Amino acid sequence: MTVLKAELARLAKGMFADPIPAAPSVELTVAPAQVEDAAAILRFASKVGLRVLFWGGGTHQGIGNAVAPDIVMTTHRLDKIVDWQAEDLTIVVEAGVTVSDLEAQLQQRGQTAVLPESPAGATVGGLVAAGLSGWRRLRYGPTRDRILEVVLATGDGRVVRGGGPLVKNVTGYDLPRLATGSLGSLGLIARLCLKLWPLAADRGMVEVADPQMALRTAYRPLAVIETTERSVAYLAGTRAELEAQAARLGGRLVAGHRWPEPLAGPREFVLRVPAGEIGWFVDEMRVNEWAFQAAHGVGEVRLVVDRGDDEQLARLREEAENLGGALVAYSSPEDGVFDPWGAAPESADLQRRVKAAFDPAGVANPGILPGGI
Amino acid sequence: MQLSLGPTQAQLDSCVTCGLCLPHCPTFRLTGDETASPRGRLTAMGAIAEGAVAADEVYARMLSFCLQCRACEAACPSLVPFGQMMEGARARLARERPTTTGRIRRLLVGKLLNLKWLLALVTSGVGLVQRLGIMRLLPRRMRLARGLRRQRVFPHSAVGVHDVAPAVPAGSVALLAGCVMDQWFPAVHDATRGVLSMAGYKVDSPETQRCCGALAAHEGAERDAARMAERNVTALQGYDYIVSDAAGCSAHLKDYGHWAEGGGSVAARTRDITEFVAELIDTGRLPEVDGDGGEVAIHDPCHLRHAQRIVDAPRKIVRAAGHTPVEIDPDGLCCGAAGLYMVYEPDTAEALGERKREQVEMAGPTTVVSANPGCEIQLRAHLGKGYRVLHPIELYWEALNR
Amino acid sequence: MALVDDLRSTLGSDRVRSHPLELIVYDKDAGVTRGEVLAAALPETTQEVAACVRIAAAHGVPVVARGAGTGLAGGSVPAEPALLIVLTRLNQIWEVDEVARTAWVGAGVLNLDLSRATEHLGLHYAPDPSSQAACTVGGNVATNAGGPHCLAEGTTVAHILGVEFVTSDGDVVLLGGKAPDPPGLDLRAVVVGSEGTLGVVTKVLVKLTENPPAVRTLLLTFDSIQAAAATVSGVIAAGIVPAALEMMDQPMVVAVEGFIKAGLPVEAAAVLLAELVGLEEGAAAEAAVVERIATAAGATSVRVAADESERAVLWKARKNAFGAVAQAAPDYYLHDTVVPRTKLVEVMTQIYEIGERNNIRMLNVFHAGDGNLHPLVAYDRREPGMSEKVRAAAEEMVRISVAAGGSLTGEHGVGLEKRDLMGLVFEDVDLDAQARLRDAFDPNGRMNPGKVLPAGARCFDFDLMAGQDGGSS
């Protein structure tokens, strides 16, 4: 045992980091600055069976089954913007770059990576690992459609690259999309190439009475969001386009975008259902008096509930699952009352085998996926 | 004239196997089977030509399953002459691997169709059967008789008719009377002659003409087809235009360059009645008639739309007759008649006929125009009593006489 | 032969092809390679497909799935003798959800039929490969097919929400679904573009896209390829992502005009087809910017499609380009490389130089807007030494594309054709990871073996237990 510890200490030299207060307490916290260093730790971990928890900004660690780690690996030293090809609308970044830094830089040249609007400190790698898409998904599609290339330090300690830094590419299996939303179950997402979009000239909002009708009348709005208080269509384009959209919607154009404030509460959930079915669920939210934000046309509802609403939640989950959807916990998975994922997917067996292809020893965020994969 | 048998190497080379023809092929659409597709048939022809496999009954079946609608040809960006290749392949197969059924079929289309007395006899028979109401006793393969117009017991023919020339004729026209067209659709010929005379043309239907030979060519009876072409080249010389009111015949006349010495001249002078009349309407030599604008469904015969690429003309005529043309099929897929195909391949013909019926029913109108006799028979057989099916020239002639 | 007997007893004899001539008909796609087919089965349901997979397994025979056979990379051509499962008969459109803008369709539904079936709802299926009139949605899923309009909308994978999938064991599972981001790994994304090497997709849940209220289609002519390429780079750099931005060079325009007779500018050295969509206000403004950039780059003429029928003719010209090549020569060979859009001018110049140096006939038509090149060589394979020369030149074009930071394939897939070039873009360890991923789906190597990954992709030297020397540390 001491031999192993000594070896680990030797490997981790130069990577030691202070323990992260919000993370589970572990003996070793490492912050590799090179993907090869991360791979070396994982290779060792695989060899001796130490569980590794990956940590970005810690803003979305509540997603998924709890991991009981032996090692925490953070990405805060993987923080470089490697290559920005502004004229090709692509950028290569390391996982630990924060979303706010990246988007601020991109904005200076009129571009965006369309990453989710996120709390301070959220990292690109973390959000991609969590598979999160922002409000603008309705117009630009999910985040995974903009991940062009990924470099992984796999669970068994290899440095594997998939995809390529090109806007169109079908060479080989789609590792970038597989890694998106994998929650670290395949290994550490160390570097990414993102597809960028030019920012529209202007932005505006129109309050609408019927969000489903707004989806049909506006031409490809960025988002149509219904909250407890109101429904708003978010628009982008030239001034003339915005005015035309507002006329179609029959509402008053307000300049700029104000996205809904993040919901905070004892228990956060995301409900995902077929876009056409969202109405029933929104009605349920209102009946239960839960704070919610519903993305129409996408089929996603963010909600916070109090402890003690388990019966209603169970009913909501059952309805969602009957429609092929899910109710996923985004916070306090450890409260034990509610499984964070719900029913295991029918492809669980395949998923287990795919994880094993990258992480045969099961050390990379073990058990975090549905079905304890 | 030297007839080349089978597809030539140059023809086979002209296909790059891109597959863009596939969705346009009715038999491929029905079966999803590459062996029933134009590209598959060409590949098979190539394999036989290379000697990779022997021509056997499977090959024969692949060839005979083709409707020869030539929709693939119109869709082909590489301009593969599929129709000619299929005719050549069938002719070669007939020579190298003769079968009894094949011989009977070729005898029918190569020889018997030219026996006017025999056709007349059949027509009388049909007329009698229709009057006796015993249609349903006919065998399955003969069900197409359901789609026939009511026939005369004493048929009349347009062959040998010479209409009176106008004082200053606009030109001379030879009407190709055709075989079944002449016997079973005399009213179409009447309308054609009427319209052309009205436009100032002197219309003859020369005595020495024969069947155009299209069916013989499709069936691989290439020597008979060539003989008929030669006869017609002579019979049709001297006329400014040669007009046919059966799309299958006009399409074949336009191919005469491959079939007989002097055939090129026939081809150059040939017009389908629809394109001829549409042009006369365009130039103001024939009038546009006011009508109630009633909707008329347009059926595009394959040998009009695909083989001759004539699409606008029938629509123009329908409009000139005071009606509103209604589309039934964006792809112009074959109705399943395809000459004698509906007799040889009743199942496929039936399936395609039903598709066409559904399309017509979806479109709405109960009057349907078709510029080819085979299609008309098939449409009438499938659409049943509530529908009127006729040649666009008849619709126009009716309007002119209103 | 027992394989055929078992298939016949399951499907009936009319849906199994096994005669030598029939097998020749099925032994290639729209590309140049031939393979060996043991039998071709035409199932009609997912359960029948699953049965075919199990029958093949019982006989130890590999399985290759095929759609309409319009692929250009040999994806559906067996690399070793195999059972061909032809999916054209799974051609039902099961459900169109107008509100959610999705449809469940059989793998054998034709791409264009799907758009036609949803036209009355103001919706369409966005990926539009040039073969869209003929190719199947299932085939599109297998290759992650592209098309001109993938520039703004993304390739097939961005439009596939779920698939019904027959595993290598003959089980049926749903991957993905109608609700966004189903929990767990996104196996749907891995299956899209996997060229039938993981299993067989029988049903597809597609996303439908709203038809734009306004469309501007521009035909721009140039007296040099470089000027056209510079326009492309300029448009992207100006922050405009057109719906489509396509280039054709002179030899290609001449070939297409021979078929379409639409009065295309056959005298121009290069032609760009640009399409801007959106609200009337947006499309018009963007079209004006594109026109300005083109003029600055030396465009010799600008033609704006006056109406839908003129637009249709322009697109028909573009989409029939490959097929029209036989007018130039009986065979063609083309690649599908992608380069960064900033490198377009440089790479195109090199590609023409390769053509000239080798004295081969080259035609170009490609998705310039996303840097997806299709250098196409027209030749006659019977000319001695020609095939080798063409392949060598084509490979050189691939190498210079990769050297410019590009990739092997943007939309046609790796298939047989580019399999052995995978080492140009991936390290051994990357290919090994892909091989492991494949093995997770198909441990016995029965699904379309010999495709995508080169032989020897599995590098056992990387074995974990071999210690730390396996990689750099």
For the residues of C280-346, what is the DSSP string, one character each? HHHHHHHHHHHHHHHHHTTEEEEEE--SHHHHHHHHHHHHTTGGGGGGT-SEEEE-B-B--GGGHHH
Q: Which of A344, A271, A322, A337 has its CA nearest to residue A301? A: A271
Q: Which residues of C touch A109 (CB under 8 A)?
A: none
In a domain, B264, yes or no: no
> Residue A360's closest chain C neighbor by CA?
C464
In a domain, B180, yes or no: no
Residue of C128, C181, C452 to mutate, testing the A interface (most A Cβ within 10 Å of its Cβ): C181
Name the minimum distance, in Å, from the CA of B161 to any CA of chain C. Answer: 41
What 3-state DSSP class applies to A212? helix
Name the minimum distance, in Å, from the CA of C429 to any CA of chain B. Answer: 36
Q: Which of B55, B71, B98 is the last residue of a domain?
A: B98
Cα gap A214→A203, rounded to integer Å: 17
pLDDT tens profile C296-321: 999 999 999 999 889 999 999 898 88
Bridge partner residues of C276 (DSSP): C216
Q: Please list the alpha-helical segments (H only) found in C12-143.
A: 20-25, 46-58, 111-118, 137-143
In a domain, B246, yes or no: no
**C-beta neighbour count of C103 within 10 angstroms:** 25
In this prediction, residue B364 carries a pLDDT of: 93
The answer on pLDDT for A1 being more than 60 is no
The answer on pLDDT for A112 being more than 50 is yes
The answer on pLDDT for B226 being more than 60 is yes
Q: What is the CATH number of the domain that holds B302?
A: 3.40.50
CB-based burial, B52-87: b 16+ in 10 Å, e otherwise: ebebeebbbebbbbbbbbbbbbbbbbbebbbbbbbb
Query: Are residues A172 and C154, on separate chains, in Cβ contact within 8 Å?
Result: no
Q: Residue A87 is nearest to which of C190, C237, C410, comparing CB atoms?
A: C237
Q: Which residues of B touch C259 (CB under 8 A)?
A: 76-79
Q: Which residues of A touch C429 (CB under 8 A)?
A: 158-160
Q: Is C19 left (phi over 0), alpha (psi -120 to 50) or beta?
A: beta
**Starting from the edge strand earliest in sequence, which strands make up the sheet with A71-74, in order?**
A28-30, A71-74, A52-55
- In chain C, residues 272-301 whose CB comes closer than 8 Å to chain B: none
Contact B81, C327 (CB under 8 A): no
Q: Which residues of chain C have pLDDT under 50?
A: 460-473
Query: Are residues A169 and C427, on separate chains, in Cβ contact within 8 Å?
Result: no
Q: Flag whether residue B8 sits within 8 Å of chain C, measured between CB atoms.
A: no
- In chain C, residues 171-210 whose CB comes closer than 8 Å to chain B: none
Q: Flag whether residue C164 sits within 8 Å of chain B, measured between CB atoms.
A: no
The answer on pLDDT for B220 being more than 90 is no
In this prediction, residue C462 carries a pLDDT of: 44
Q: Flag whether residue B121 sits within 8 Å of chain C, measured between CB atoms.
A: no
- Rounded alpha-carbon distances, angstroms, from residue C346 to B357, C294, C398, C399: 57, 18, 14, 14
Domain(s) labelled CATH 3.30.70.2190 in chain C stretch across: 213-325
Lowest mean pLDDT of A199-203, B13-17, C455-459, name the range: C455-459
Touching C: which chains, 3+ CB pairs < 8 A? Answer: A, B
In this prediction, residue C468 carries a pLDDT of: 40
Chains B and A touch (3+ CB pairs under 8 A): no
Q: Residue C340 is nearest to which of A47, A88, A110, comparing CB atoms?
A: A88
- Rounded alpha-carbon distances, angstroms, from residue B366 to B33, B349, B360, B389: 34, 22, 8, 8
The length of chain C is 473
In this prediction, residue C124 carries a pLDDT of: 96
Q: Residue A180 is nearest to which of C186, C426, C471, comparing CB atoms?
A: C186
Query: Are residues C42 and B32, on separate chains, in Cβ contact within 8 Å?
Result: yes
In this prediction, residue B358 carries a pLDDT of: 94
CB-side exposure of C375: number of CA atoms within 13 Å? 29
How many Cβ pairs closer than 8 A exist between chain A and C?
292
Query: Are residues A162 and C433, on separate chains, in Cβ contact within 8 Å?
Result: yes
CATH class of C2-86: alpha beta
Q: Bigger pLDDT: B184 or B347? A: B347
How many Cβ pairs closer than 8 A exist between chain B and C?
114
Binning pLDDT at 50, 70 and 90, where does residue A304 land?
very high
Name the minimum distance, in Å, from the CA of C172 to any CA of chain A. Answer: 9
In this prediction, residue B98 carries a pLDDT of: 85
Residue type at B389? V
Long-range CB contacts (within 8 A, 24+) of B195-200: B195/B273, B195/B277, B195/B286, B195/B393, B195/B396, B195/B397, B195/B400, B196/B243, B196/B276, B197/B163, B197/B164, B197/B166, B198/B286, B198/B400, B199/B170, B199/B277, B199/B280, B199/B285, B199/B286, B200/B166, B200/B168, B200/B169, B200/B170, B200/B285
Name the minimum distance, in Å, from the CA of B241 to any CA of chain C. Answer: 26
Q: Residue C193 is nearest to which of A88, A170, A345, comparing CB atoms?
A: A170
Bridge partner residues of A54 (DSSP): A73
**C-beta neighbour count of C462 within 10 angstroms:** 17
The length of chain A is 373
In this prediction, residue C72 carries a pLDDT of: 86
Name the minimum distance, in Å, from the CA of C55 to any CA of chain A. Answer: 21
Domain boundaries, chain A: 81-198
> Residue C70's closest chain B neighbor by CA?
B19
CATH 3.40.50.300 given to domain C93-210: no
Mean pLDDT of chain B: 89
In this prediction, residue C373 carries a pLDDT of: 92
User: From the DSSP assignment, how many helices (H) and strands (E) are in chain A?
Assistant: 11, 18
Contact A46, A40 (CB under 8 A): no
Structure tokens at C318: 């573009």
Q: Which residues of C touch B348 (CB under 8 A)?
A: none
Query: A81-198 — its CATH code?
Result: 3.30.465.10
In this prediction, residue A248 carries a pLDDT of: 94
Cα gap C351→C364, rounded to integer Å: 10
Helix axes C344-358, C386-403, angle to 10 degrees: 160
Cα gap C55→C83, rounded to integer Å: 10
Cα gap C393→C378, rounded to integer Å: 12
pLDDT tens profile B280-331: 999 999 999 998 889 999 999 999 999 999 999 999 999 999 999 999 998 8
Q: Which of B53, B50, B45 has its CA nearest to residue B11? A: B45
Residue of B34, B35, B66, B312 to mutate, testing the C interface (most C Cβ within 10 Å of its Cβ): B34
- Rounded alpha-carbon distances, angstroms, from residue B210 to B111, B158, B187: 11, 12, 20
Name the minimum distance, in Å, from the CA of C439 to any CA of chain A. Answer: 8
Domain(s) labelled CATH 3.30.465.10 in chain C stretch across: 93-210
Cα gap C41→C38, rounded to integer Å: 10
Q: Residue A354 is nearest to which of C187, C422, C427, comparing CB atoms?
A: C187
> Residue C26's closest chain B neighbor by CA?
B34
Q: Bigger pLDDT: B162 or B375? A: B375
Name the minimum distance, in Å, from the CA of C196 to any CA of chain B. Answer: 19
Query: C213-325 — its CATH code?
Result: 3.30.70.2190
> Residue A151's closest chain C neighbor by CA?
C430
Q: Residue C342 is nearest to which of A87, A238, A342, comparing CB atoms?
A: A87
The total number of structural domains in chain B stands at 2
Query: Are residues C134 and B20, on separate chains, in Cβ contact within 8 Å?
Result: yes
pLDDT tens profile C186-243: 999 999 999 999 999 999 999 999 999 999 999 999 999 989 999 998 998 888 999 9
In this prediction, residue C73 carries a pLDDT of: 85
Which residue carries 């043991």 as its tokens? Answer: C38
Q: Residue A166 is nearest to which of C101, C282, C406, comparing CB atoms?
A: C406
Binning pLDDT at 50, 70 and 90, where does residue B391 land?
very high
In this prediction, residue C470 carries a pLDDT of: 37
In this prediction, residue A254 carries a pLDDT of: 96
Q: Flag whether residue C70 sits within 8 Å of chain B, measured between CB atoms.
A: yes
pLDDT tens profile A312-358: 899 999 999 999 999 999 886 555 667 899 988 999 999 999 999 99
Structure tokens at B364: 């709405």
Q: Which of B98, B121, B145 is the last residue of a domain?
A: B98
In this prediction, residue C237 carries a pLDDT of: 86
Cα B288 from chain centroid (whole Å): 27
DSSP states along A16-55: B-PPPTTSPP-SEEE--SSHHHHHHHHHHHHHHT--EEEE
In sequence order, what are the residues at sequence separation of 6 or more whose Cβ sits closer than 8 angstroms to the Cβ of residue A11?
A40, A41, A44, C473
The answer on pLDDT for A6 being more than 90 is no
In a domain, B218, yes or no: no
Return the DSSP state at A200. P
Contact C414, C451 (CB under 8 A): yes
Name the minimum distance, in Å, from the CA of A336 to any CA of chain C. Answer: 19
Structure tokens at C445: 């190597």
Cα gap A260→A257, rounded to integer Å: 10
- Mean pLDDT (whole number) for B253-267: 94
Q: Residue C413 is nearest to which of A168, A170, A274, comparing CB atoms?
A: A170
**C-beta neighbour count of A41 within 10 angstroms:** 25
Structure tokens at A128: 């991609």
Which residue carries 């991609």 as its tokens? Answer: A128
SS (H, E, C) chain B: CCCCCCCCHHHHHCCCCCCCCHHHCHHHHHHCCHHHCHHHHHHHHHHHHHCCCCCCHHHHHHHHCCCCCCHHHHHCCCCCCHHHHHHHHHHHHHHHCCCHHHHHHHHHHHCHHHCHHHHHHHHHHHHHHHHHCCHHHCCHHHHHHHHCCCCCCCCCCCCCCECCCCCCCCEEEEEECCCHHHHHCHHHHHHHHHHHHHCCEEEECCCCCCCCCHHHHHHCCHHHHHHHHHHHHHHCCCCCEEEECCHHHHHHHCCHHHCCCCHHHHHHHEEEHHHHHHHHHHCCCCCCCCCCCCEEEEECCHHHHCCCCCCHHHHHHHHHCCCEEEECCCCCCCCCCCCCHHHHCHHHHHHHHHHHHHHHHHHCCCEEEECCHHHHHHHHHHHCCCCEEECHHHHHHHHHCC
Query: What is the C-alpha R_g of chain C?
Result: 23
- In chain B, residues 53-72 whose CB comes closer than 8 Å to chain C: 53, 56, 58-59, 62
Query: What is the C-alpha R_g of chain A?
Result: 21
Cα gap A288→A315, rounded to integer Å: 12
Domain(s) labelled CATH 3.30.43.10 in chain C stretch across: 2-86
Q: Residue A144 is nearest to which of C167, C186, C406, comparing CB atoms?
A: C186
Name the minimum distance, in Å, from the CA of A16 to any CA of chain C. Answer: 16
The answer on pLDDT for A131 being more than 90 is yes
The answer on pLDDT for A262 being more than 60 is yes
Contact A363, A45 (CB under 8 A): yes
Q: Flag whether residue B80 sits within 8 Å of chain C, measured between CB atoms.
A: yes
Q: Which of B67, B98, B129 is the last residue of a domain?
A: B98
Residue of A170, A213, A298, A353 to mutate, testing the C interface (most C Cβ within 10 Å of its Cβ): A170
Provide the domain limits for residue B20.
9-98
Query: Are residues C86 and B34, on separate chains, in Cβ contact within 8 Å?
Result: yes
Q: Residue B32 is nearest to which of C89, C259, C324, comparing CB atoms?
A: C89
